[in-house]
Amino acid sequence: MMEKMIFGRFIPGDSVVHRMDPRAKILFVFLFIAIVFVANNAWGYAILLGFTLLVVFLSKIRLYFLINGLKPVFILLIFTFFLHLFFTREGDLLFSFGFIEIYEEGLRQGIFISIRFLVLVFMTSVLTLTTSPISITDGIEVLLGPFKKIKLPVHELALMMSISLRFIPTLMDETGKILKAQMARGSDIGSGPMKERVKAVVPLLIPLFVSAFKRAEDLATAMEVRGYRGGEGRTRYRQLNWQLADTLSLVLLAGLTAVLWYFRA
């Protein structure tokens, strides 16, 4: 199941969306999250859904892949839908069976909330699927740049993030290896009563910590020897490049806001 999950993953590609400046994409998603709340009727939600599908289309991510990869998220979505359906008691009674009563307003709310949820998940997924984690980090570092003035360690945070990203696959591999080595010594993490399972995690976690600390120490040495002394006086190899498409995307978003406002009840 986890292997099929695409939430938070990056799929390299060459679409308009892939090529956009990460700053533009991050801003776009943040503004979009706010704009979603402007919609408050069927028209508004239909427009939002259409707009989101347009962005997915532009990103050249296959809709099937997106839906399939987000299955666990849909379970949450369906749950939210039914929650609203059953527990909102306003408007006309549409249907009743025993203690279950469904009202018009409940159905409306259920559908609207689901769409809202769906477009948010789709839009953020498009961001992570089309932007490499390191570009997102770059984008955040630059966007947060002004906060350096209030002594926020922006450069250090970004570096921490990029190093963590860099080491995730390494540590995943290592976890697998240690797990197998302990299984070969008769440790059984996947079964037995809870108490046994917790005990079985120790032989996995300790070696993992020991190795992570060793790696951190080695990495610190390597960085120091290569002249790392903090953000002061550093230049950047990765350059961000704001283009016309980036400006246009934000203009488009402004257009969407205007349209939503117009249709607002």
Nearer to another protein, 88 or 187 (CB): 187
- Identify the residue among 34, 225, 244, 265 touching another protein (CB under 8 A): 225
Asked if 175 is part of the footprint of another protein (rule: CB under 8 A), the reply reads no
Asked if 197 is part of the footprint of another protein (rule: CB under 8 A), the reply reads no
Span near another protein by CB under 8 A; candidates 18-26, 115-123, 148-156, 199-207: 199-207
Count of CB atoms within 10 A of residue 14's CB?
Answer: 8
How many Cα atoms occupy the beta-carbon half-sphere of 28 within 13 Å? 29
> DSSP labels for 114-161?
HHHHHHHHHHHHHHHHHS-HHHHHHHHHHHTGGGGGGT--HHHHHHHH
- Identify the residue among 67, 210, 245, 248 touching another protein (CB under 8 A): 210
Which residues is 96 bridged to in the sheet? 101
Nearer to another protein, 36 or 178 (CB): 178
Count of CB atoms within 10 A of residue 185's CB?
Answer: 8
As given in the structure block, the two tokens for residue 195 are 């108490």
Beta-carbon contacts of 111 under 8 Å, excluding residues fewer than 6 positions away, are: 45, 81
Span near another protein by CB under 8 A; candidates 50-58, 99-107, 145-153, 183-191: 183-191
As given in the structure block, the two tokens for residue 163 are 């190093």
Asked if 241 is part of the footprint of another protein (rule: CB under 8 A), the reply reads no
| Interface with another protein: number of residues (CB under 8 A) | 51
Give the whole-angstrom CA distance, residue 156 versus residue 162.
Answer: 10
How many residues in the chain? 265
Span near another protein by CB under 8 A; candidates 36-44, 149-157, 231-239, 252-260: 231-239
- Identify the residue among 15, 60, 133, 142 touching another protein (CB under 8 A): 133
Nearer to another protein, 58 or 165 (CB): 165
Per CB under 8 A, residues contacting another protein are: 3-4, 65, 132-134, 162-163, 165-166, 169-170, 173-174, 177-178, 180-188, 202-203, 206-207, 210-211, 214-215, 218-219, 221-229, 233-239
